[in-house]
Amino acid sequence: MTEKDHFDEVLDRDWDRFGETLADRIVALAGTESIGISMDTAHGPATYVRIRPKPEGHVEVAVAGADTVTRSVAHADELARHVVSVLRAHRNVVHPIFLHTDDALAEGVLRDRVADTLSRRLGRPAPVDADGDFVLVLDSHAVFVIVDRPAHRVQLWAPLLHSIAERARAADALVDLNRDWPHIKVVLVEDRLVATVDMLGDPFVPRHLNDLLEMLEIFLGTVDARFARRFDGTRYSGEIDPDVIDPDIEETLLDEPPS
């Protein structure tokens, strides 16, 4: 492979990644939001692309120098490829690093989207604890859904065990556990075992959150008496009623674990 071939391969790869991210952003568009893609020119920033949500699940893509295209959001990948094609072929943009997007999430938007996704999943508004975190019950385990807006991140956080006597033994067992579940991070917090899952909040894709919740629920189904013995810890006892969530549930679970 020549140096030029390698350079072209890198360019194609980076444009593919840009297109994949743009497709996710298109899927996540809601309400009156829009995505603008601009580039610095000798005369100042120039907006080349404007993407807006339209009624009935459609999206309008207006690209300078090309016809406006409207498609169903189900064709987000096709729309993203169209944008990439026009930017490369007609606007002569060499690399996506020269582009700027202006679709950063406004204050509260990420939390609203998470709340809406959880409400659709539950069929009712998700309970909220005293810290403002959403609380779900998956396989009799409390799962906290934490929205970190400044970091554009959503974290799933599930207490598993408490009163772990031998931290060294537990740390050894954690190596195998995290290898078996690579998309879930299980950590020791003092004498407690906690599972966490992180996802990007920008772009926020509801399907990704639902997929992670389903994966976490499968994992929580393995947290049984045998699991507790493996870590020499104690499971959080008692059934948690998903319809009656104590606002202080996080403090109850972590600061005063049941005996």
pLDDT at 126 over 50: yes
Tell whether 81 and 192 lie within a shared domain. no
How many CA atoms lie less than 13 Å away from 63 in the CB half-sphere? 20
Q: Confidence class of residue 193 from pLDDT cuts 50, 70 and 90?
A: very high
With respect to residue 212, please indicate whether it lies within any of the assigned structural domains.
yes
Domain ranges, residue 51: 3-104
> Mean pLDDT over residues 62-70, rounded?
84
- Percent of the chain whose predicted confidence (pLDDT) is above 90: 47
Whether residues 88 and 149 fall in one domain: no
pLDDT top residue among 200 and 193: 193
CA-CA distance, 57 to 59, in Å (whole number)?
Answer: 7
Is residue 163 in some structural domain?
A: yes
> Can you tell me the distance from the alpha carbon of 137 to that of 63, in angstroms, rounded to the nearest whole number?
45
89 shares a domain with 8: yes
d(CA 73, CA 208): 16
Report d(CA 56, CA 72) in Å as an integer: 8
Domain count of the fold of the chain: 2
Q: Are residues 134 and 36 part of one domain?
A: no
Q: What is the distance between the alpha carbons of residues 116 and 118, in angstroms, rounded to a whole number? A: 5
Tell me what pLDDT residue 65 has: 72
Sequence-distant (6+) residues with CB within 8 A of 214 are none
Asked if the structure places residue 97 within a domain, the reply is yes
Same domain, residue pair 167 and 83: no
**Between the ranges 42-46, 221-225, 237-241, where is the mean pLDDT highest?**
221-225
pLDDT in tens, 223-237: 999 999 999 999 986
Report whether pLDDT(244) > 90.
no
User: Under 8 Å CB-to-CB from 108, ≥6 apart: which residues?
Assistant: 149
| pLDDT for residue 153 is more than 60 | yes
How high is the pLDDT of residue 255?
A: 47
Question: Is residue 100 predicted with pLDDT exceeding 60?
Answer: yes
Using pLDDT thresholds of 50, 70 and 90, give the confidence band for residue 247.
low
Tokens of 36: 């603008």
Residues 157-173 pLDDT 10s: 999 999 998 889 999 99
Question: In this structure, what CATH number is given to the domain that contains residue 139?
Answer: 3.30.1460.10
Domain final position from 85, 104, 123: 104
* 120 and 90 belong to one structural domain: no
pTM score over 0.75? no
Band (pLDDT 50/70/90 cuts) for residue 258 is very low
Residues 86/63, Cβ–Cβ less than 8 Å: yes
pLDDT value for 6? 64
One domain, residues 92 and 20: yes
pLDDT of residue 107: 52
248 pLDDT band, cuts 50/70/90, is: low
DSSP string, the chain: --HHHHHHHHHHHHHHHHHHHHHHHHHH--TT--EEEEEEETTEEEEEEEEEEEGGGEEEEEETTS--EEEEGGGHHHHHHHHHHHHHHTS----GGGEEE--PPPTTHHHHHHHHHHHHHHTSPPPB-TTS-EEEEETTEEEEEEEETTTTEEEEEEEEEE--S-HHHHHHHHHHHHHHSTTSEEEEETTEEEEEEEEE-SS--HHHHHHHHHHHHHHHTT-SHHHHHHHT-EEPPS---TT---TTHHHHHHTS---
In a domain, 38, yes or no: yes
